[in-house]
Structure 1
Amino acid sequence: MLKKVSPILLLFLCNCCASQPSFTLTDNELETSVTETLKYYLYYPPEYELNPEKNFPILLFLHGGGEVEEDLNPNERIPPPSLILQGKKFPFLILAPQNSYSKSWWNTRAIKQLLDTVVAENRIDKKKIYLSGISRGGGAAWEMAVQYPETFAAMAVVCGMTPLPYASWINKKMAIWVFHGEDDEVIPVEESESMVKKLEEFGYDVRFTKYENVGHDSWSKAYATEELYDWFLEQSLTN
């Protein structure tokens, strides 16, 4: 038995059917280009000019959110750059790019391009490229370790944000040293504790130093640790 459909309901049904889009999966391609101007400091050890035939290690250092101001007094900068200004001699080159955006994340692709350029234009031992960062820069260091697993021989992260899933993506041949203050109220020490535990479960070569009665400023102690620089020099990227 046929039921009579009202003209209004029939018009509604017709409009609904007519308005349904036809979905098609297309295969397209778009070449993108992202550029960024990076200011940076580049330190050369005294031996660099004295040994023109020698290739040297290089340390890439990523600062935290407190150093984004362009007019920041050089003496207010965080080590290692501040230690250089105080006259400390390092046994390797140090590349310290500047992130000028107070609320933005590091552009790790741009940093990698800068690093590649500096390495290509200087006498760098490509098996001894090191990575370090503090706070926001520490988080970016974890990211770079994931994105470029065949680049860095060793990484030292100080009071950094630690995306836990990264633990399974990092090159197991890269040595890792993590520093954190137990009283850190900006990035809790549990961030580093969780990451180190996960790395140990996966069999990574990782060291962990916690500082009692130290807040977010754990970098002062970490970069004053002479053993850290000796440790860096002991690490070499293997095939």
Structure 2
Amino acid sequence: MQILKITSKIALFGAVLFLQACAAQSQLIEDEVETVTKEDLRYYLYFPEDYFEKPEKDFGLLLFLHGGGESGRELLHVKKNGPPKLLVEGKQFPFLILAPQNPHEKKWWNTQAVNQLLDSIVDTNRVDKNRIYLTGLSRGGSAAWEMATQYPDKFAALAVVCGMAPLPYAHWIDKNMPIWVFHGDKDETISVGESDRMVEKLKEMNYDVKYTRYQDVGHNAWDRAYTTDSLYTWMAKQKRIN
């Protein structure tokens, strides 16, 4: 297990409004402040079997973002679902897998911190920057949509499982990035309508999007989605077009 402290620096160019009580006038004064956000991110990092046997080869990397039930400070919880669970069961993957943990049980993912973690892992390992894949389930699926909109030049493929979708910003996503969406039609936590509308919007804009809509499946659509072997063969074939 590795723990990486992520520090984010954001320059805010804003206006500070000073309302003066005098009868003369109010003054609108420009100012600037630098804020610092810190996040401790624990994570698992998986290396394919031949990573150390082929030092001349660069590999793809899959970033996996878990759901709300795995959040907190017990890293073992990350192994409950998705690719980490499959790794525990003995499945092998042809690419690295980065699985961080959201340390906050009742907060959204800090996607800026996740992005910095991802950059650090990519820079310190033999990762092909044109073959970085992104996936997430539930709250992590929502974060995956967010990262796809905020960092459209980074990912070669996106797979979202039962996540809330940023419909108004669908056009921010890289049009050359293939997308695969999974959702259960009986989901009572995050409505299947989130995925229905997002997929419809993406198709209207001629995005390359696949949709697996499970019948009589609730919020645990990830049980079926992540055991779909064709998902990983599909991912491994994708490469960013620069």
* TM-score in same-fold range (> 0.5): yes
Change in Cα spacing, 1:185 to 1:47, as seen in structure 2 (3 Å) is same
Task: Select the structure that is richer in strand.
Answer: 2
The size of the alignment, in residue pairs, is: 222
| TM superposition shift of 1:184 | 0.6
Q: Deviations over 1:101-148 (max 9, x none)?
A: 111010001000000000000000000000000000011111111111
Task: Give 1:144's aligned residue.
Answer: 147
- Aligned-CA RMSD value: 1.6
| Structure of larger gyration radius | 1
Q: Is the 8 A contact 1:156 1:178 kept in 2?
A: yes
1:192 correspondence with 2:203 = no
Distance between the aligned counterparts of 2:165 and 2:140, measured in 1? 11
Task: Select the structure that is richer in helix.
Answer: 1
Q: Is the 8 A contact 2:159 2:181 kept in 1?
A: yes
1:58 correspondence with 2:47 = no
Task: Give 1:131's aligned residue.
Answer: 134
1:120 correspondence with 2:118 = no
Task: Give 1:105's aligned residue.
Answer: 108
State the AA in 2 paired with 1:105.
W
Q: Is the 8 A contact 2:78 2:101 kept in 1?
A: no
Percent of aligned pairs with the same residue?
57
Q: Is the 8 A contact 1:55 1:123 kept in 2?
A: yes
User: Which one of the candidate residues 201, 208, 231 is aligned to 1:205?
Assistant: 208
1:12-27 matches, cutoff 5 A: 19-20=22-23, 22-27=25-30
Note the residue ranges of structure 1 that are not aligned, 5 or more in a row. 1-17
TM-score by length of 2: 0.88
1:82 correspondence with 2:85 = yes
TM-score by length of 1: 0.89
Note the residue ranges of structure 2 that are not aligned, 5 or more in a row. 1-20
State the AA in 1 paired with 2:71.
V
Distance between the aligned counterparts of 1:64 and 1:51, measured in 2? 34
